[in-house]
């Protein structure tokens, strides 16, 4: 039921914004003007909650979670805010009465792509859940001027285009020109005696950059809470260096300004791969220093003495990107605020907790000692001092085990000395967690084994989750309506209620409705694929989808091997009993990752050949949906029927796309990796297509000696597939194009595609059989959704609150739903 007064209010506020904020009359307004005007109208309602929330936290002096993350992949704000405010209907009505289309206005928004993939999106889901659970929170991150690049496809290859997300204005941020902090960089340190005769150290930086806060409100779901995400932008301390100016060095002065602003210019587009680039270390230090100075500022509004800092704040390190914060808090407490080392260390350790998001060696951050010391000379000294005390403790606990101290050291001594950020984070935190049960076990057994020997009580698991508001209620309005009709409207904030759908899996009429929803969503996605990829696909075919960053360990190329095998089989057996299938891919490759870019080309080449083949027409289609991001994923999850989660076991820390698919009723074909393990347990193994080697089997195979070429020689299907790749049949006769892939698979095959190829094919054959029985498939689909309650990010956040942060909800005073 739309609220008439609210419709009128939105119309009035919209017109007012168009006039007063944008200076436009309706006939002159562009689509972007309409988007801005509606956003400003909605912002009033957000602001009211934001101010009240701030007031409540202030009055209660609430314990606060500080979520530090170099990435927040928020996705478009307007539609999500309308959903959380409960104003979607009213806004739609208001726009239509003014002669506009709400969907067209929503489509205008450029998303803030301030993250790469799962890690950044997880941070955004967690901010959403923290607000929904009414936990006092400060999110801190970086306001990149250019977020993750836009992906274009030319001739089947990825081309990167800069993401100018701020070009048309951003109505969701409030700049705080008075919340600014100086961030020193470079230079040297010197000792001195303070007034009390104590030895102190002073950092004499080479340059100073200024951080300015930009605030973004994060709404809870219909509860009056709006938390704060504060993103830092780097500026020059003076826009002109007057001395240089007076000496006639105008360009030198401008250079310095440009240099400073560079720090927050662009997001590093590498997912799970780090290069020891100085600018990246500067970015990390910059935002963490601003965040910690801000926390101290807020704390000291009430109390000068910092001895209970850890009682006021619980800081979460989202991977090691903010781990330099451990050394920075020590510097601020000891050097700037004059606290003794031991007390400062106690506070630091009790404040921080660390989440690890990967076991991949190429993703573990290390900084060469020389570079670290050149950028952060004082922090290098602090790291050395932390390490000296830490290794003393290690030697006391494990006397005579010299190699243990070397393994645990914050400094890696081989191949040029480096600072190991995962070690700094582990030593400086009182809790360390992985992001899925399997991943947390592997952390303890492998990557952080020595730390686990030392402090088993620090370790825990918190399995990731995703917000059902954005990924179910907003993305899939048809399914949301059906679910609400069946079990009421409480599920978006209590996802376990989806269990109420279980009995309906046996209800034929309900199944028919469920199928109708999926069919309509597939028709929508078919339209998108046609428009964006130029490929026509049949909404009655099986929609088989793999969308995520392109990476060898995620094995999009294994999926392609299956597509080729299926195509060859359909050509051979014209009457094969297989459902028509549409295989969809999407995802970005890091610009410098050649193999990943070749994998994108591979998908396009195979698609071109398969889609043009009259023999298999109507039975198999392949398409790559360009520019996968939060906005573009919205029509994908609701339409998917088969979710491809096929990483090499032990490599995907958790995965979160796997959860978004299953929540929307897709069945998973997957390995025992990351959260797949727990998803399978939750939905029931009979409702999940499992294949592939386990972590243990892979270890055993490697120990025996893995020989992929033997598999090739022993399997005619595999041979045909790889031969087609090698002889140019899929690349217009160019036999060299996919050579690197074929050579890798027949050589080392580091991601074990050939070992998993047969089992994958067999599992895909089971998928075919299951899909040919629509009633059976629909039952499984309903049960998947019904049993995904525990993968709400609300459950994850509740666990962090209880086991890591020890915080409790603070309801907002006077927060009825009136606006």
Residues annotated as part of the active site: 357, 548-549, 554, 656, 660
Measure Cα distances from 738 to 300, 580, 683 in Å. Answer: 61, 27, 38
Q: Which of 411, 435, 590, 630 binds ligand NBG (CB under 6 A)?
A: 435
Q: Coil, strand, or helix at residue 117? A: coil
The length of the chain, given as a count of residues: 819
Q: With CB under 6 A as the contact rule, which of the stretches 98-106, 514-522, 598-606, 651-659 interacts with ligand NBG? A: 651-659
Q: How far apart are CA 525 and CA 594, in angstroms?
A: 30
Q: Which of 109, 241, 282, 319 binds ligand NBG (CB under 6 A)?
A: 319
Where in 118-147 is the site for ligand NBG (CB under 6 A)? 118-119, 122
CB 811 within 8 A of CB 523: no
Q: Which of 653, 667, 786, 810 binds ligand NBG (CB under 6 A)?
A: 653
* Interaction between residue 655 and ligand NBG (CB under 6 A): yes
* Interaction between residue 643 and ligand NBG (CB under 6 A): no
Measure Cα distances from 357 to 106, 321, 397 in Å. Answer: 33, 11, 29
Q: With CB under 6 A as the contact rule, which of the stretches 36-44, 191-199, 208-216, 652-660 interacts with ligand NBG? A: 652-660
* Interaction between residue 271 and ligand NBG (CB under 6 A): yes
Binding mask 91-120 vs ligand NBG (x if CB under 6 A, - otherwise)?
--------------------------xxx-
Q: CB of 435: closest distance to ligand NBG in angstroms? A: 4
Q: State the CB neighbour count (10 A cutoff) for residue 430.
A: 17
Nearer to ligand NBG, 358 or 815 (CB): 358
Q: Which two tokens stand for residue 701?
A: 């195979």
Q: CB of 361: closest distance to ligand NBG in angstroms? A: 12
* Interaction between residue 348 and ligand NBG (CB under 6 A): no
* Interaction between residue 462 and ligand NBG (CB under 6 A): no
Nearer to ligand NBG, 171 or 650 (CB): 650
Q: Is the dihedral of CA 483, 488, 492, 493 positive or negative?
A: negative
CB 106 within 8 A of CB 87: no
Q: Which two tokens stand for residue 499?
A: 């269990």
Q: CB of 400: closest distance to ligand NBG in angstroms? A: 36
Provide the 8-state DSSP code for 493.
G
Nearer to ligand NBG, 9 or 590 (CB): 590
Q: CB of 48: closest distance to ligand NBG in angstroms? A: 33
Could you tell me which of 146, 35, 32, 125 has the C-alpha nearest to residue 630? 125
Nearer to ligand NBG, 241 or 652 (CB): 652
Q: Which of 170, 283, 289, 358 binds ligand NBG (CB under 6 A)?
A: 358
Q: CB of 440: closest distance to ligand NBG in angstroms? A: 11
Q: CB of 73: closest distance to ligand NBG in angstroms? A: 11
Nearer to ligand NBG, 412 or 652 (CB): 652
CB 130 within 8 A of CB 67: yes
Q: With CB under 6 A as the contact rule, which of the stretches 132-140, 288-296, 355-363, 537-545 interacts with ligand NBG? A: 355-363
Nearer to ligand NBG, 599 or 786 (CB): 599
Q: With CB under 6 A as the contact rule, which of the stretches 287-295, 581-589, 649-657, 717-725 interacts with ligand NBG? A: 649-657
Q: CB of 653: closest distance to ligand NBG in angstroms? A: 4
Tell me the Cα Rg of the chain: 27
Instruction: Name the burial class of residue 322, with classes exposed (0-12), middle (13-18) and buried (19+) by CB atoms within 10 angstroms of its CB.
Output: buried
Q: Which of 217, 674, 692, 789 binds ligand NBG (CB under 6 A)?
A: 674
Provide the 8-state DSSP code for 195.
T
Measure Cα distances from 661 to 517, 555, 670, 753 in Å. Answer: 15, 18, 12, 23
Q: CB of 439: closest distance to ligand NBG in angstroms? A: 8
> Distance from CA of residue 787 to its chain's centroid?
23
Q: Which of 33, 109, 111, 272 binds ligand NBG (CB under 6 A)?
A: 272
Q: How far apart are CA 472 and CA 494, in angstroms?
A: 13
Nearer to ligand NBG, 133 or 653 (CB): 653
Q: How far apart are CA 625 and CA 159, in angstroms?
A: 14
Angle CA(740)–CA(743)–CA(744) in degrees, nearest 5?
A: 85
Nearer to ligand NBG, 653 or 755 (CB): 653
Q: CB of 7: closest distance to ligand NBG in angstroms? A: 40
Where in 562-601 is the site for ligand NBG (CB under 6 A)? none
Contacts of 641 (CB under 8 A, 6+ apart): 518, 522, 542, 543, 544, 545, 665, 666, 667, 771, 777, 781
Q: CB of 256: closest distance to ligand NBG in angstroms? A: 34
CB 804 within 8 A of CB 471: no
The beta-carbon contacts of 95-100 under 8 Å, at least 24 apart in sequence, are: 95/14, 95/38, 97/7, 97/11, 98/11, 98/14, 98/15, 98/26, 100/34
Nearer to ligand NBG, 463 or 784 (CB): 463
Where in 185-214 is the site for ligand NBG (CB under 6 A)? none
CB 208 within 8 A of CB 183: yes
Q: Which of 652, 678, 749, 756 binds ligand NBG (CB under 6 A)?
A: 652
Q: With CB under 6 A as the contact rule, which of the stretches 169-177, 233-241, 573-581, 647-655 interacts with ligand NBG? A: 647-655
Site size with ligand NBG, rule: CB under 6 A: 18
Give the torsion through C-alpha atoms of 145, 148, 153, 157, to 10 deg.
120
Nearer to ligand NBG, 610 or 653 (CB): 653
**Tally of CA atoms within 13 A in the half-sphere of 388 that contains its CB:** 6
Q: How would you write 43-103 as a 3-class SS string?
A: HHHHHHHHHHHHHHHHHHCCCEEEEECCCEECCCCHHHHHHHHCCHHHHHHHHHHCCCCHH
Q: Which of 654, 676, 731, 785 binds ligand NBG (CB under 6 A)?
A: 654
Q: CB of 464: closest distance to ligand NBG in angstroms? A: 5
Contact residues for ligand NBG, defined by CB under 6 A: 117-119, 122, 271-272, 319, 357-358, 363, 435, 464, 652-656, 674
């Amino acid at each position: 039921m739309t609220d008439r007064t609210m419709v009128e209010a939105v119309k009035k506020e919209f017109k007012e914004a168009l006039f007063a904020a944008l200076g436009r009359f309706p006939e002159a307004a562009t689509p972007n003007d309409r988007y801005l005007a509606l956003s400003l109208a909605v912002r009033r309602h957000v602001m009211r909650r934001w101010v009240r929330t701030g007031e409540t936290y202030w009055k209660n002096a609430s314990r606060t979670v500080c979520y530090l993350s170099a990435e927040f992949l928020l996705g478009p704000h307007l539609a999500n805010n309308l959903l959380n405010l409960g104003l979607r209907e009213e806004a739609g009505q208001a726009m239509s009465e003014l002669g506009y289309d709400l969907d067209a206005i929503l489509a205008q928004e450029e998303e803030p792509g301030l993250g790469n993939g799962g890690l950044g999106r997880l941070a955004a889901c967690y901010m959403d859940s923290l607000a929904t659970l009414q936990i006092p929170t400060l999110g801190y991150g970086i306001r990149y001027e250019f977020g993750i690049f836009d992906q274009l496809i030319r001739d089947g290859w990825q081309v990167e285009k800069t993401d100018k997300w701020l070009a048309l204005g951003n109505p969701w941020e409030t700049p705080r020109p008075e919340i600014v902090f100086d961030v020193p960089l470079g230079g040297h340190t010197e000792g001195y005696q303070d007034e009390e005769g104590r030895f102190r150290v002073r950092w004499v930086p080479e340059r100073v950059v200024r951080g300015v806060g930009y605030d973004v409100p994060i709404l809870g779901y219909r509860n009056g809470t709006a938390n704060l995400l504060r993103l830092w932008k780097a500026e020059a301390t003076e826009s002109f260096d007057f001395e240089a100016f007076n000496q006639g060095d105008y360009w030198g002065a401008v250079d310095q300004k440009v240099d400073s602003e560079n720090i927050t210019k662009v997001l590093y587009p590498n997912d799970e791969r780090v290069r020891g680039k100085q600018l990246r270390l500067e970015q990390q230090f910059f935002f963490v220093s601003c965040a910690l100075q801000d926390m101290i500022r807020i704390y000291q509004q009430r109390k000068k003495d910092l001895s209970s800092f850890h009682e006021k704040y619980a800081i979460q390190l989202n991977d090691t990107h903010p781990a330099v914060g451990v050394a920075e808090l020590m510097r601020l407490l000891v050097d700037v605020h004059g606290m003794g080392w031991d007390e400062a260390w106690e506070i630091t350790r009790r404040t921080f907790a660390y989440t690890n998001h990967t076991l991949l060696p190429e993703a573990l951050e290390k900084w060469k000692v020389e570079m670290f010391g050149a950028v952060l000379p004082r922090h290098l000294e602090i790291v050395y001092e932390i390490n000296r005390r830490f290794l003393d403790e290690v030697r006391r606990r494990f006397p005579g085990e010299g190699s243990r101290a070397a393994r645990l050291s914050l400094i890696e001594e081989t191949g040029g000395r480096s600072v190991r950020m995962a070690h700094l984070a582990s030593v400086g935190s009182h809790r360390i967690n992985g992001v899925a049960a399997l991943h947390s076990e592997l952390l303890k057994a492998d990557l952080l084994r020595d730390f686990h020997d030392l402090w088993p009580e620090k370790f825990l698991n918190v399995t990731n989750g995703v917000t059902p508001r954005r990924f179910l209620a907003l993305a899939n309005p048809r399914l949301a309506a059906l679910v609400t009709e069946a079990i009421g409207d409480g599920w978006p904030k209590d996802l376990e209620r989806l269990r109420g759908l279980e009995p309906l899996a046996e209800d034929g009429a309900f199944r028919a409705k469920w199928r109708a929803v999926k069919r309509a969503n597939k028709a929508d996605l078919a339209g998108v694929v046609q428009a964006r990829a130029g490929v026509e696909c049949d909404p009655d075919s099986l929609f088989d989808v793999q969308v995520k960053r392109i990476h060898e360990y995620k094995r999009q190329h294994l999926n392609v091997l299956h597509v080729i095998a299926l195509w060859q089989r359909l050509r051979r057996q014209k009457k094969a009993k297989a459902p028509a299938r549409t295989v969809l891919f999407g995802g970005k490759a890091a610009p410098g990752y050649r193999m990943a870019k070749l994998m994108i080309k591979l998908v396009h080449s195979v698609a071109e050949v398969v889609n043009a083949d009259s023999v298999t027409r109507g039975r198999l289609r392949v398409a790559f949906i360009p520019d996968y991001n939060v906005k573009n994923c919205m029509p994908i999850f609701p339409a998917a029927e088969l979710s491809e989660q096929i990483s090499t076991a032990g490599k995907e820390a958790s995965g979160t796309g796997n959860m978004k698919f299953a929540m929307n009723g897709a069945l998973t074909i997957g390995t025992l990796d990351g959260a797949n393990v727990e998803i399978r347990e939750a939905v029931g193994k009979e409702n999940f297509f499992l294949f592939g080697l386990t972590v243990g089997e892979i270890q055993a195979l490697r120990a025996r000696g893995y020989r992929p070429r033997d598999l090739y020689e022993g399997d005619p299907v595999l041979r045909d597939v790889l031969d087609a790749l090698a002889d140019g049949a899929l690349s217009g006769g160019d036999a060299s194009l996919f050579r690197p892939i074929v050579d890798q698979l027949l050589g080392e095959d580091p991601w074990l595609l050939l070992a998993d190829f047969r089992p994958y094919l067999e599992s895909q054959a089971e998928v075919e059989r299951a899909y040919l029985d629509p009633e059976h498939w629909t039952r499984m689909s309903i049960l998947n959704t019904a049993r995904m309650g525990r993968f709400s990010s609300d459950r994850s956040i509740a666990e962090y609150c209880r086991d890591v942060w020890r915080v409790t909800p603070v309801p907002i005073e006077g927060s009825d739903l009136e606006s």
